[in-house]
Amino acid sequence: MKSIKYLLLAVGVMMMASCGQQPAVAPAEPVDPAQVVLDNIMTRVSVRQFTAEPIAKSDLETILKAGLQAPSAMNKQDWQVRIVTNQDMLNTLSGFMLNTEMGKGMAERLNGKNAFANAPAVAFIAAETGENATAYNREDTALLSENMLLAVHALGLGATYQAAPARMINDSAEAKDFLKNSLGFPENAELINVIIMGHPAETPAVKDRDQNKGRIIE
């Protein structure tokens, strides 16, 4: 009996199609915005291997805008961000970095890549210092960085937060001059971290988190 019902249903669909009518399509399930955000947070991973494909400028603009939307103490926005895609600039800066004490030890592990893993784009994130800066400028850059990481993941790209490159740059007078002269960082900008990003050439699994590290106390 079931087979007869299926046959009649198939015939009906064919007749509707022959008459130029489309069969009824079930409505799409409603999208839960909260779940979309939570899924993006829970599935983000650090990516360190990238293809050579460049990131679209529109995506870079979205990532930058998402970062700048982060909260900051008293809304001072005491940060400076530069996203660099110019590989000549990145290679030049990498050369300065790998000439530092820390960089010399890292060079052997890079397998011929520059200090940024040959990423198509690198975000340099600095905190503004001085008498006009708040005492929370470093914390503010962390909030900005996380916004950028989540935006990268939402766009189907990969990225990782790195502090070591910032230390190498801060240890090199040539590298610091390069930031000011070529990337346009102001004198009061202190580099805190970089974010390397691109199209993923690897698919790392999400690592488990120790849920005992957090508690709800009632």
| 79 domain residue, yes or no | yes
CA distance 79 to 141: 6
Place of tokens 């529109």: 58
Mean pLDDT estimate for the chain: 90
Cβ atoms 63, 121 nearer than 8 A: no
Per residue in 160-179, pLDDT (tens digit) is 999 999 999 999 999 999 99
> So what's the pLDDT on residue 11?
41
- Cβ atoms of 169 and 94 within 8 Å: the answer is no
> Which pLDDT does position 104 carry in this prediction?
85
Confidence band (pLDDT; 50, 70, 90) for 21?
Answer: low
Domain assignment present for 208: no
Give per-residue pLDDT as tens, 38-50.
999 999 999 999 9
User: Coil, strand, or helix at residue 162?
Assistant: strand
In a domain, 6, yes or no: no
Structure tokens at 156: 């189907």
Residue tagged 């508690």 (tokens): 215
What CATH number corresponds to the domain at position 177?
3.40.109.10
Total tally of structural domains belonging to the chain: 1
The answer as to whether 71 is a domain residue is: yes
DSSP-derived secondary structure for 62-89: HHHHHHHTS--GGG---EEEEEE--HHH
Instruction: Classify 52 as helix, strand or coil.
Output: coil
Residue 16, pLDDT > 60, answer: no
Question: Is residue 36 a part of any domain in this protein?
Answer: no
Let me know if residue 35 belongs to a domain: no
Residue 189 located in a structural domain = yes
pLDDT tens profile 113-135: 999 999 999 999 999 999 989 99
Q: How much is the pLDDT for 22?
A: 57
**pLDDT the model gives residue 119:** 97
Domain that residue 186 falls in: 46-198
How large is the average pLDDT for residues 95-106?
A: 90
Classify residue 21 as exposed, middle or buried by CB count within 10 Å of its CB (0-12, 13-18, 19+): exposed
32 in a domain, yes or no?
no
